[in-house]
Amino acid sequence: MAAFAEETAAQQKPETLSAPVSGWRKAGRRPEAVRTAAAEGRFVPAADRHRPDLPAAAADQKGTEQFTGNTTETSSGNAGRTKKSAEQQHSAERRSATGTKAEEQNKNRYPVESETEAGRDTYRALRIRFLHALQGTGGNVAMLCGCGGGEDTEEIIVKLAVSLAAQGRRVLVADCGLRTGILTAGLGVSGRRRGLADCLDGSVPDWRQCVLKLRRYGFSFLPAGTIRTEGPDSAELLGTAAMRAILRGLGDNYDVVLCAAPPAAVTTDAAALAPGTDGTVLVAAHGRTRRTAAAAVIEQINCTGSPVLGLILSGYDPDRAGAATLSSFAYYSR
């Protein structure tokens, strides 16, 4: 079709630039027959376009745009472009609907409403031990991360935050997973929403502009923000003075701040973030995380100067372990 338009343009250009055509085009008038043919989508030979007695009998739809003097497209080309535009719009709407559906599904990833009483008791016990360890540091900002991945760290952070907020505390959870986001999608928050990453690169001057109040859970949330494939490494951003300033601001405005970080054995993000917090809680998977791996992560965090407050053992089965407890995980403090 493009070739047809170019060939027609080359053939008709001298005629479309003839004086009679230019004259009535500039004056804003066209012969009635020409207007009728153009309105009906029929082809009008360039040589006859200035004739007021032209019979409106031509029937070729192609080239109706040529009488404008800018022979670059045909009406059929416009139709094709319109069809393509409609298809693109439909595709965009379909992607948007898919994204919205995914976000709606993610809203139920942490069903706190259906938590059993035994489950709530478990997190009450964790809350008591966690607060005791954190208050011993004199601070209120803690980092939580898994040792190597697959420890259900995200669910533990959310339910611990819910338990803390249930007592009337002002709790904020910060998604410090700048590479992919740790909690943002799972909490039903759009990945396009600005957050911590945008505050660190200067796109957002004040972190308060990015904080969301998640009424369903009872705590505030700072999303990961815009995920970037270029620019500074996430570990570099998390270890900057700007990040430490944000953590100080969060600590001044909330009773408890939980920073969700990527697994310590997978990236250096946790080690970069730890010095700006008041302590670290590690999560290990029962039957999966090796003792040597957990010990290596503990040593790595201790080297940053941030104390390891304790370790949560997720997936713990007290019946098989022979322990006299109903907890689904065990919490070991230092």
pLDDT value for 233: 85
Backbone phi and psi for residue 155, each to the nearest 5 degrees, phi listed first: -65, -40
Residues 308, 312, 318, 324, Cα dihedral to 10°: 50
pLDDT band at 114 (very low <50, low <70, confident <90, very high): low
pLDDT digits (tens, 9 = 90+) for 221-268: 999 998 776 667 899 999 999 999 999 999 999 999 999 999 998 889
Set out the domains of the chain in order of their start, with CATH numbers.
Answer: 2-77 (no CATH), 110-333 (3.40.50.300)
pLDDT digits (tens, 9 = 90+) for 22-48: 333 444 445 565 555 555 555 555 555
Q: Which of 196, 208, 198, 200 is nearest to 249 (CA)?
A: 208
pLDDT digits (tens, 9 = 90+) for 157-216: 999 999 999 999 999 999 999 988 889 888 988 877 899 999 999 999 999 999 999 999
pLDDT value for 23: 38
* Cα separation, 24 vs 32, whole angstroms: 12
User: 67 or 197: whose pLDDT is higher?
Assistant: 197
Residue 41 burial (CB < 10 Å; 0-12/13-18/19+)?
Answer: middle
Beta bridge partners of 314: 285
* Cα separation, 145 vs 153, whole angstroms: 6
